[in-house]
Amino acid sequence: MQRNGRFFRKSILLPAFLVLAALTGCKKEKPDNGTSLPFERLRKDLSVQSSLLNRAINYAVLLPPEYEHGQDTYPVVYLLHGLGDNEKAWYQGGNIRYYADQYAGETGPVIYVMPQGFNTYWVNKYSGTYPYMDMLIDELMPAVESGFRVSKEASQRAVMGYSMGGYGALILAAKNPEVFGTAVVLSMSFRTDGQYLNEPQGVFDSQWGTVFGGMGKSGNDRLTP
């Protein structure tokens, strides 16, 4: 599954940012090239203490150059990482700052939020013991909204992810259409029922069973409602 956790760069991010341009519907002037910034746009050491998960959840935020001037609110994109990665993936290997600036003329100024998702597939655990999706909607997003001037309108809020994060982007938007108006799915980690049935036991248990149920089971017993 390591392949799915890799970050896919130019060939995928170009069309992805063109999709995100629909968030604003208008063009803005491009920001500078980032060589001399008057304030720290990338906030890397943020966290929210989750009562639902009983732990701190790390996240990072990338602000547009315009953020320090005025009191405007901005569209927000939640960026979800792949299996085995963390909240650093988008601004390290993914180089989100470069791409955000490169396509700012198409998208306009946007705030990007990069949460830590562990290996949860961005959903509530089947057993009910680790409600990650609930945490993201009910705890992390309010923390972001209280700390940064992000829009609270679904039409101005998107979720985008690759691999495991692509699955999360699809499910989050499908289950919460009143929250996310746009979903961008990149190289989604997904299997057919037949593929789930034929996964080696160790692979199934470690990657799928622990989240979706069916741990230690085989055949059709792996498939949960």
Does residue 109 sit within a domain? Answer: yes
Does residue 166 sit within a domain? Answer: yes
Q: Which helix (DSSP H) or strand (DSSP E) does residue 137 occupy? A: none
Does residue 195 sit within a domain? Answer: no
Which one is predicted more confidently, 190 or 84?
84
Number of domains in the chain: 1
Residue 79 has pLDDT above 60, yes or no: yes
Residue 13's pLDDT band (cuts 50, 70, 90)? low
Residue 8: exposed, middle, or buried by beta-carbon count in 10 A (0-12, 13-18, 19+)?
A: middle
Does residue 206 sit within a domain? Answer: no
Does residue 119 sit within a domain? Answer: yes
Does residue 208 sit within a domain? Answer: no
Give the global pTM. Answer: 0.82
CATH code of the domain in which 33 resides: 3.40.50.1820
The mean pLDDT value of the chain amounts to: 85
Which residues constitute the domain of residue 120?
A: 2-189
DSSP string covering 17-57: HHHHGGGT-S--PPP--SSS-SS--EEEEEEEEETTTTEEE
What are the tokens at 77?
Answer: 């994109």
Does residue 199 sit within a domain? Answer: no
Residue 135: exposed, middle, or buried by beta-carbon count in 10 A (0-12, 13-18, 19+)?
A: buried
Task: Report pLDDT for 12.
Answer: 46
Residue 34's pLDDT band (cuts 50, 70, 90)? very low
Does residue 151 sit within a domain? Answer: yes
What is the average pLDDT across 123-148?
A: 97
Please state, in angstroms and rounded to a whole number, the distance separating the CA atoms of residues 60 and 58.
7
DSSP string covering 64-108: -GGGGSS---B-EEEEE--TT--TTTTTTTT-HHHHHHHTHHHH-
Q: Check: CB of residue 158 under 8 Å from CB of residue 172.
A: no
128 contact partners, CB below 8 Å, separation of at least 6: none
Q: pLDDT by residue (tens digit) across 164-215?
A: 999 999 999 999 999 999 999 998 987 788 887 888 888 877 887 788 888 8
Nearest to 136 by CA among 126, 145, 127, 147: 145
Residue 155 has pLDDT above 60, yes or no: yes
